[in-house]
């Protein structure tokens, strides 16, 4: 069962697509951040699957996914901080209202 | 006597250049020169006149060779090259003298007539340009060069008729003159093209035309077509029916140029063209008939209109149309010398009549003969010279008009009797309207608004010179002394002294004068008796047989409608397509605008789509091959 890599990659792809859909179409900024987290986790899955069952199994994949988790956490912290500042200035967390770069 | 080489003819190319120089000088420095500019023009024409006189006098001996110089290659196309040059023969030499002499007298006259006009140097520059063009036309060596000068005289006529351009009638008349003659010119050009097509070696000079026709190298149908097309051009320029409508309207121009252009020279260019290409016409009896019939018809048509006009210049204009009809009729009947002879005499007495009319207009400030009368008492010189001109035009012996008209009528009598009676009737009407004009203007009770006085010397001197010429020039071609015929055609000419014709034409002339005296002489009360007794006919004649109205309805209105339609098409369709392209570009831009909405999720989506496209481009190829 563990020799075929396809199920893990499929799961990773599905999770990534769900996350992508959420990032591109949700109204609430918090949900968008959530979706970005989901995308990063899908990437982690891919990395670990390749580390164990890829063409050249190595430990590097797992190490890299540890890095990824760390970075995701840091990025979420900064993202929430920016979101809170944005909410304080604009009064809303709706992404569609954040269009001051328009033209 | 052997044919000799001429001494002066080789310098004939200088003759048109002096007026051209005057034109350039007046265009450049005219504004500073003001009234002195008239002297530049007069001196230039005088020099040309002296040269023309030398050329002509030398040829009077009788047997000088024709001189041709055509060495400039103007245009080379393949094996064919077009030459430019000049030719002097007896006909040319005569025309040179006529043109320069009348131009000189008109220049002198204009100094008095146009005195005080602030565009006087512009006027003289145009007159000089016209003189140059006409002289160039006369000595042209080939028919294409003649066409170039033909168009140039048309342009000068346009400029001069519209000289007082602030008058709307003058502008309209100038346009009409140019457009109507242009219609004729198209015919002439097509004729030239046909000639080019059929002539051996595509040569277009008159000597080659003469040789080709003598050798019978051109098919008969082509000759007729070419001749008729050339006649169309001549009809336009010489005001033959139906292209005559521009000439009376051209009277809006200053009177000196009516004398120069529309009496003596430019309108004679049509007759001159037919004479130059006479070989083509003689080779086609059908074309000769057309020329003669249209000439005869025009003669009587215009003469009948002339009896019901009230503008002094318009009477003379219709008279010109009528006399040109006589000339064309003569040429159409084969009477080459008679036609040219009438051109010669007509140039002088018609210019005299116009300049006399100008003198009258200058004195009483109006052109309506109903507001003139009794001027004979105050303007002696004008009256006497006008009388001489009128008698010459009416064809009374021994004035020049009698001999030339007699030549034409006797040619008609011997070859084509119906045209003889047409010519005779036209002669009656000619005498009648001239008598009417003379009696209404110069005799009787004075109906003028201002007090008239004789014109200054610069204006009366040309009148006297022309009056002398109107008397003397008749004697070069009489039945007793056909010198002109022998000199012009190089073949011995005899004119049968037909007393029947002479008596009939004198009777017609005297009858016309008598009728004029009866109706308009002593018993004139102020109301036109012709209008009272025959109001309907008078109306038709006064309105010129409604030909202008016919053209307006048949040609002008449809053309204007077509113009409007095409304008709509241009605006709607062509401009519409351009606007469509603009809108399309705009629309594409609008589309792109939707992407720039400041929304980061849109940008993310666009990035994703771009990534997909790139992936497909890079990887897709391998998938196809692998599959």
Q: Which pLDDT band holds residue A10 (cuts at 50, 70, 90)?
A: very high
C-alpha B240/C-alpha B219 separation (Å) is 28
E strands along B421-574, which residues? Answer: none
**Do the Cβ atoms of A103 and B605 come within 8 Å?**
no
B107-118, pLDDT tens digit by residue? 999 998 988 888
Q: Copy the structure tokens of residue B506.
A: 């004198």
What residues contact B5, with CB distance under 8 A and at least 6 apart?
Answer: B64, B65, B67
CA distance B581 to chain A (A): 25
Q: Is residue B600 less than 8 Å (CB to CB) from chain A? A: yes
**Between residues B162 and B267, the one the model is more confident about:** B162
Question: Is A23's Cβ below 8 Å from some Cβ in B?
Answer: yes
Which of B44-53, B290-299, B455-464, B472-481 has the weakest average pLDDT?
B472-481
For B374-430, the pLDDT digits (tens) are: 888 888 889 999 999 999 999 888 888 888 898 899 888 888 789 999 999 999 999
Cβ neighbors of B447 (< 8 A, separation 6 or more) are: B370, B371, B372, B373, B374, B526
| Percent of the residues in chain B that have a pLDDT greater than 70, as a whole number | 96
Contacting residues of A for B605, CB less than 8 Å apart: 24
- CA-nearest residue to A98 within chain B is B599
Cβ distance of B608 and A96 shorter than 8 Å: no
Would you state the pLDDT for residue B499?
81
Question: What are the b/e assignments for B565-589, b being 16+ CB within 10 Å?
Answer: eeeeeeeeeeeeeeeeeeeeeeeee
Please tell me which residue of chain B has the smallest CA distance to A22: B601
CB of A28 less than 8 A from some CB of B = no
Can you give the pLDDT at residue A8?
93
Q: Is the peptide bond before A76 cis (omega within 30 degrees of 0)?
A: no
- Best probe of the A interface among B589, B596, B601, B612, by most A CBs < 10 A, is B601
Give B608's contacts in chain A (Cβ within 8 Å). 20, 24
User: pLDDT digit string (tens) for A18-73?
Assistant: 999 999 999 999 999 999 999 999 999 999 999 999 888 999 999 999 999 999 99
User: Does the beta-carbon distance from B600 to A23 stay under 8 Å?
Assistant: no
Closest CA to B199 of B185, B186, B216, B178: B216
DSSP 3-state of B286:
helix
Q: Which residue of A has its CA nearest to B593?
A: A103
Model confidence over B337-387: pLDDT tens digits? 889 999 999 999 999 999 999 999 988 888 888 888 888 888 888 999 999
Rounded mean pLDDT, B318-331: 93
pLDDT surpassing 60 at residue B627: no
Q: What is the pLDDT of residue B623?
A: 75
Pick the residue of B595, B596, B598 with the most A CBs within 10 A to test the interface with A by mutation. B598
Q: Is the minimum CB–CB distance between B607 and chain A shorter than 8 Å?
A: no
Give residue B49's pLDDT. Answer: 94
Least CB–CB distance from A20: residue in B598, B599, B608: B608
| Residue numbers of A between 69 and 98 with CB closer than 8 Å to B | 95-96, 98
Q: What is the mean pLDDT of residues B557-582?
A: 91
What the block records as the tokens of B522 is 């002593």
* Residue B1 pLDDT class (50, 70, 90 cuts): very low
B4 confidence band (pLDDT: 50, 70, 90): low
H or E element that contains A73? helix A60-90
Q: How far is A103 from chain B (nearest CA, A)?
A: 6
> Which of A20, A23, A101 has its CB closest to that of B598?
A101
Region B455-464: what's the mean pLDDT?
88
- Residue with tokens 């084969």, as numbered in its chain: B334
Q: Does B594 touch chain A (CB under 8 A)?
A: no
- How many A-B residue pairs are in contact by the CB < 8 A criterion? 27
> CA of A35, closest CA in chain B: separation in Å?
13
Least Cα separation, residue A77 to chain B (angstroms): 20
Average of per-residue pLDDT values in chain B = 87
Determine, for residues B596 and A96 on separate chains, whether the beta-carbon distance falls below 8 Å: no
Q: Give me the residue from B597, B605, B608 closest to A102, CB to CB.
A: B597
According to the model, what pLDDT value does residue A103 have?
A: 64
Are B18 and B131 in contact by the 8 Å Cβ rule? The answer is: no
For position B2, what pLDDT does the model report?
41
Mutation to test the B interface, candidates A19, A27, A101, most B Cβ within 10 Å: A101
Query: Which residue of A lies nearest to B596 if distances are taken between CA atoms?
Result: A102
Name the residue of chain A whose CA is nearest to B595's CA: A102
B598 lies within 8 A of chain A by CB: yes
Question: Which residue in chain A is spatially nearest to B608 when comparing CA positions?
Answer: A20
Nearest CA in chain B to A26: B601
Cα separation, B426 vs B508, in Å, equals 9
Predicted confidence band of residue B315 (pLDDT cuts 50, 70, 90): very high
Q: Which carries the bigger pLDDT value, residue A16 or residue B478?
A: A16
- Which residues, in sequence order, are CB contacts of B404 under 8 Å at separation 6+? B338, B341, B342, B344, B345, B346, B474, B477
User: Each residue of B476-508: pLDDT tens digit?
Assistant: 777 777 777 777 777 766 666 678 888 888 899
Share of chain B above pLDDT 90, in %: 44
B597: contact with A, CB 8 A cutoff = yes
Of A24, A32, A103, nearest to B605 by CB-CB distance is A24
Asked whether residue B625 carries a pLDDT value surpassing 80, the answer given is: no
pLDDT tens-place string over residues B226-251: 999 999 999 999 989 889 999 999 99
**A100–chain B Cβ distance below 8 A for any pair:** yes
Q: What percent of chain A has pLDDT over 90?
A: 76
Question: Quick check: B601 contacting A, CB < 8 Å?
Answer: yes
Q: Cβ–Cβ of A24/B598 closer than 8 Å?
A: no
Interface of A with B in 29-48 (CB under 8 A): 32
Comparing alpha-carbon positions, the chain A residue that sits nearest to B606 is A24
* Contacting residues of B for A96, CB less than 8 Å apart: 599
Cβ burial, residue B592 (10 Å; 0-12/13-18/19+): exposed
Contacts of B596 in chain A (CB under 8 A): 102-103
Query: CA B412 to CA B330: how far, in whole Å?
Result: 7
Model pLDDT, residue B375? 84
Contact call for A25 and B596, based on CB within 8 A: no
Asked if residue B321 lies in contact with residue B239, where contact means CB atoms within 8 angstroms, the answer is yes
Task: Please tell me which residue of chain B has the smallest CA distance to A101.
Answer: B598
Q: Which residues of A touch B600 (CB under 8 A)?
A: 95, 98
> What is the pLDDT confidence band of residue B65, given thresholds at 50, 70 and 90?
low
Chain-chain contact of B598 with A96 (C-beta, under 8 angstroms): no
């Amino acid at each position: 069962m563990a020799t075929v890599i396809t199920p893990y990659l499929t799961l990773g792809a599905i999770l990534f697509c769900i996350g992508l859909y959420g990032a591109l179409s949700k109204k609430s900024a918090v949900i968008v951040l959530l979706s970005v987290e989901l995308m990063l986790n899908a990437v982690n899955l891919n990395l670990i699957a390749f580390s164990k069952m890829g063409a050249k199994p190595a430990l590097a994949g797992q190490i890299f996914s540890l890095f990824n988790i760390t970075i995701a956490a840091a990025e979420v912290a900064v993202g929430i901080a920016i979101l809170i500042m944005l909410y304080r200035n604009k009064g809303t967390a709706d992404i569609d209202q954040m269009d001051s770069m328009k033209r | 006597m052997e044919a000799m080489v001429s001494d002066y003819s080789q310098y004939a190319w200088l003759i048109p250049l002096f007026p051209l120089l005057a034109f350039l000088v007046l265009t450049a420095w005219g504004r500073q020169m003001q009234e002195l500019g008239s002297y530049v023009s007069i001196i230039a024409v005088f020099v040309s006149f002296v040269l023309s006189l030398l050329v002509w006098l030398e040829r009077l001996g009788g047997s000088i060779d024709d001189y041709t110089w055509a060495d400039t290659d103007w245009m080379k196309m393949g094996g064919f090259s077009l030459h430019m040059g000049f030719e002097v023969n007896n006909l040319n030499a005569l025309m040179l003298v006529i043109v320069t002499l009348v131009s000189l007298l008109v220049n002198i006259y204009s100094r008095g007539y146009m005195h005080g006009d602030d565009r006087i140097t512009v006027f003289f520059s145009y007159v000089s340009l016209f003189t140059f063009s006409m002289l160039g036309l006369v000595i042209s060596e080939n028919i294409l060069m003649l066409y170039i000068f033909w168009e140039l005289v048309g342009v000068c006529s346009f400029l001069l008729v519209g000289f007082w351009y602030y008058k709307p009638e003058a502008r309209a008349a100038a346009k009409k003159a140019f457009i109507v003659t242009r219609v004729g010119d198209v015919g002439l050009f097509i004729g030239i093209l046909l000639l080019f097509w059929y002539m051996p070696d595509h040569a277009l000079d008159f000597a080659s035309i003469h040789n080709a026709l003598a050798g019978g190298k051109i098919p008969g149908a082509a000759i007729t077509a070419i001749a008729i097309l050339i006649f169309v051009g001549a009809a336009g320029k010489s005001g033959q029916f139906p292209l005559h409508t521009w000439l009376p309207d051209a009277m809006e121009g200053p009177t000196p140029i009516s004398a120069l252009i529309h009496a003596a020279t430019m309108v004679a260019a049509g007759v001159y063209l037919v004479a130059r290409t006479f070989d083509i016409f003689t080779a086609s009896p059908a074309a000769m008939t057309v020329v003669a019939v249209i000439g005869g018809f025009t003669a009587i048509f215009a003469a009948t209109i002339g009896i019901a006009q009230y503008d002094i210049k318009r009477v003379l204009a219709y008279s010109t149309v009528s006399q040109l009809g006589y000339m064309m009729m003569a040429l159409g009947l084969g009477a080459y010398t008679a036609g040219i002879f009438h051109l010669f005499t007509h140039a002088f007495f018609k210019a005299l009549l116009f300049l006399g009319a100008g003198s009258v207009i200058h004195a009483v400030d109006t052109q309506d003969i109903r507001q003139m009368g009794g001027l004979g008492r105050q303007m002696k010189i004008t009256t006497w010279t006008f009388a001489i001109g009128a008698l010459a035009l009416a064809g009374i012996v021994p004035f020049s008009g009698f001999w030339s008209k007699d030549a034409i009528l006797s040619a008609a009598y011997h070859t084509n009797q119906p045209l003889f009676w047409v010519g005779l009737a036209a002669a009656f009407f000619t005498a009648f309207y001239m008598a009417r004009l003379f009696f209404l203007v110069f005799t009787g009770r004075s109906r003028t608004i201002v007090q008239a006085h004789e014109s200054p010397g610069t204006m009366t001197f040309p009148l006297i010179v022309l009056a002398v010429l109107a008397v003397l020039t008749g004697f070069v071609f009489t039945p007793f002394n056909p010198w002109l015929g022998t000199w012009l055609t190089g073949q011995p000419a005899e004119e049968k002294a037909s007393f029947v014709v002479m008596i009939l034409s004198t009777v017609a002339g005297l009858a016309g004068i008598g009728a004029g005296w009866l109706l308009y002489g002593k018993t004139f009360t102020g109301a036109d008796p012709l209008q009272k007794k025959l109001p309907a006919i008078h109306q038709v004649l006064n309105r010129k047989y409604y030909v202008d109205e016919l053209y307006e309805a048949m040609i002008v209105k449809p053309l204007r409608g077509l113009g409007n339609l095409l304008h709509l098409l241009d605006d709607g369709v062509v401009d519409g397509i351009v606007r469509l392209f603009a809108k399309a570009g705009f629309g594409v831009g609008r589309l792109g605008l939707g992407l720039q909405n400041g929304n980061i999720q849109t940008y993310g989506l666009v990035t994703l789509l771009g990534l997909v496209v790139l992936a497909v481009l890079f990887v897709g190829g391998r998938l196809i091959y692998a599959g």
